[in-house]
């Protein structure tokens, strides 16, 4: 079974035993999380969500991604270069069951 779920304003294509990285959730490792906002299940599309379908996942770990650089540059006469960094927090989840 495969499904499309909505988590944190983004959509993710998931299958059983797959791992995804989502925006940080308030959950500890080994917690079970339940996703009710299922947009599609095996080609059946909801409007906007399918009812009676849930996706269960297990939290593997919380962490931060690699640092990215945000660089702003204005050409020659207004030359002020600005570099900033950002590390986005995430939660890694393993999908254990798609019920529906």
In the predicted model, is pLDDT for residue 73 greater than 90?
A: no
Tokens representing 10 are 């983004």
Residue numbers of the domain that contains 31:
2-62+90-99
In a domain, 72, yes or no: no
Q: Is the preceding omega at residue 91 within 30 degrees of 0, hence cis?
A: no
In the predicted model, is pLDDT for residue 72 greater than 80?
A: no
What is the per-residue pLDDT for 79?
61
In a domain, 25, yes or no: yes
Q: What is the pLDDT of residues 1-22, one digit of tens each?
A: 899 999 999 999 999 999 999 9
In a domain, 9, yes or no: yes
Q: What is the pLDDT of residues 40-64, one digit of tens each?
A: 999 899 999 999 999 999 999 999 9
How many C-alpha atoms does 79 have within 13 Å on its Cβ side?
A: 2
Report the mean per-residue pLDDT for the chain.
90
DSSP reduced 3-state for 77: helix
> CA Rg, the chain, in Å?
18
Domain count, the chain: 1
- Tell me if 10 sits within 8 A of 35, measured CB to CB: no
Query: What's this model's pTM, rounded to 2 decimal places?
Result: 0.80
């Amino acid at each position: 079974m495969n499904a499309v779920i909505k988590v944190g304003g983004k959509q993710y294509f998931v299958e059983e035993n797959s791992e995804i990285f989502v925006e940080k959730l308030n959950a500890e490792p080994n917690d079970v999380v339940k996703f009710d906002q299922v947009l599609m299940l095996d080609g059946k599309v909801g409007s906007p969500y399918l009812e009676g379908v849930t996706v269960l996942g297990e939290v593997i770990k919380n962490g931060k991604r690699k640092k990215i650089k945000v660089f702003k540059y204005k050409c020659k006469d207004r030359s002020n270069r600005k570099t900033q960094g950002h590390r986005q927090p995430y939660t890694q989840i393993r999908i254990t069951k798609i019920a529906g």
